[in-house]
Structure 1
């Protein structure tokens, strides 16, 4: 579905201390930005922000950064963070393809990837956020033994991603083809997940650990 342009979104975001418009300037300086030495968790494709807001509320001792390209979506994430008055979360409007230019070595402790575009055509596979091309970029700033938590409703993407992780030096620590019927208790349901679960969608989930 094509999003209607919200011309007012960018000025509101630029005026907020929760949004980092020029993130490359903070490479290696994110702990100073958050004013503490807590671990930093990164959500790639944060959408309307329910996931990152909930995680930040549940974990005040961890800093969270949500990244998304569209102002029209990110503005809703910003409003959620503002409503909760959280101080341990920031948002970045940018293309994830350039993410390695934003963080320094060992600066990120965990990555969340929730329901990313499956890019089913072979010629588009390299655009998948779990592809070896992207995993190579994430390894530039992930701490040793860091984890990537990945959720999807696309079976082909899920199975291909397992191979991507193994090829890129990650071990699969947890895996389920039906998250909501599994023994995993730390799930935070996204807006997309809630909608399509009600229609019978099964959520697949894995945790990959950088070895």
Structure 2
């Protein structure tokens, strides 16, 4: 869905550099300094409008959450949610996921979330999927040993593709749910998309996986 241009976005970002971090690559290997503590770092790639990351930060106050979102009009909406929540354990980055290694050092991240990523259904766009092999290489590098990759989607085709991609990349599938809400996970925090799709009776797919190494 095309996002409306927000003419106030640049001014908001200039004023709120404590929420949306400018020049984030300068903090590679030094995110603990940004948060002022050594708590685990969890990263959401494609944070959208921020409902998930704010909900997680409230649920887990002793974890530092970083949301990555490329769209300026979307990330300012997420930043407003963070601001309203008063949560101090969230930072946002306006950046492309392809640049993950510029943002985080090796083994700096404890958990990584992929929520309702663009399925890019055409075969010719396979390399753009966030569960394609080139992205898995990035995730493996920044995640700590045994760090979790948690993936949620409403798209069954993308989910099946991703399970095959994970398995082919030496990843161990810790959990696979074909209907997350039917499984009643009390700790699940929903995204805006998740609420929308589940309200229509559409199943939500989720898996947790870890990299097994060589």
**Band the TM-score falls in, shorter-chain normalisation:** over 0.9
Quote the Cα distance in structure 2 between the aligned partners of 1:168 and 1:160: 12
2:169 aligns to what?
A: 168
CA drift of 1:183 comes to: 4.6
2:6 aligns to what?
A: 6
2:60 aligns to what?
A: 59
RMSD after superposition:
1.0
Quote the Cα distance in structure 2 between the aligned partners of 1:90 and 1:80: 12
CA drift of 1:11 comes to: 2.0
1:126 is aligned to 2:127? yes
CA drift of 1:179 comes to: 0.5
Aligned residues: 211
Deviations 1:70-104, CA, capped at 9 Å, x for gaps: 11111111111111211110000111111121100
Q: How does 1:1-211 map to 2 (within 5 A)?
A: 1-16=1-16, 17-211=18-212
TM-score by length of 2: 0.95
CA drift of 1:7 comes to: 2.0
CA drift of 1:185 comes to: 2.7
Deviations 1:1-31, CA, capped at 9 Å, x for gaps: 3212112112212321111121111111111
Deviations 1:129-151, CA, capped at 9 Å, x for gaps: 11111000111111000001100
Runs of 5+ unmatched residues, structure 2: none
Quote the Cα distance in structure 2 between the aligned partners of 1:63 and 1:69: 20
Runs of 5+ unmatched residues, structure 1: none
Quote the Cα distance in structure 1 between the aligned partners of 2:197 and 2:143: 31
- Runs of 4+ in structure 1 displaced over 3 angstroms? none
Quote the Cα distance in structure 2 between the aligned partners of 1:168 and 1:24: 27
Quote the Cα distance in structure 2 between the aligned partners of 1:119 and 1:98: 19
